[in-house]
Amino acid sequence: MGRRTLVVVIAVLATVPVLSGVLGIAIGPQALPGGEPVNATIDSEYRFTNVFWLAAGLLIWWSLRRPEQRADVTRVILAIASLGAVPRLISVAVTGWPHPMFIGALVLELLVVPLVIWWHVRTFPRRIE
């Protein structure tokens, strides 16, 4: 598969944090499947952290405008997203399995994103300057 395909795959993946970040900021935790009213502290923190989620998606889109020159940005953000699986697994151990949508997110973070990073490294190798 070519460079263009990889860029499209990553752009589509970046749509997830962009859309969910906007929804999280605008609607709050009630935007989640099974979301219910929470106290003001949790609502505030949820909306705040969604700014970072939104920013991650926007930064990936920005990095894809020059995928070779901004490859490190893409990889770092994808790696951070993949590391998001760790706190999800802690949550599973502490509170049990979440809504199926978040089990899907866990699968993406554990399997799909690392494969995309691997593909990215093979497609856009670092050049020694």
Contact 84, 109 (CB under 8 A): yes
Q: What is the pLDDT of residue 56?
A: 98
Q: Is the pTM of this model over 0.75?
A: yes
Cα distances (angstroms) measured from residue 7 to each of 12, 29, 73, 96:
9, 31, 14, 35
Task: Tell me the domain boundaries of the chain.
Answer: 3-123
Is a pLDDT exceeding 90 seen at residue 19? yes
Residue pLDDT, tens place only, 57-113: 999 999 999 999 999 999 999 999 999 999 999 999 999 999 999 999 999 999 999
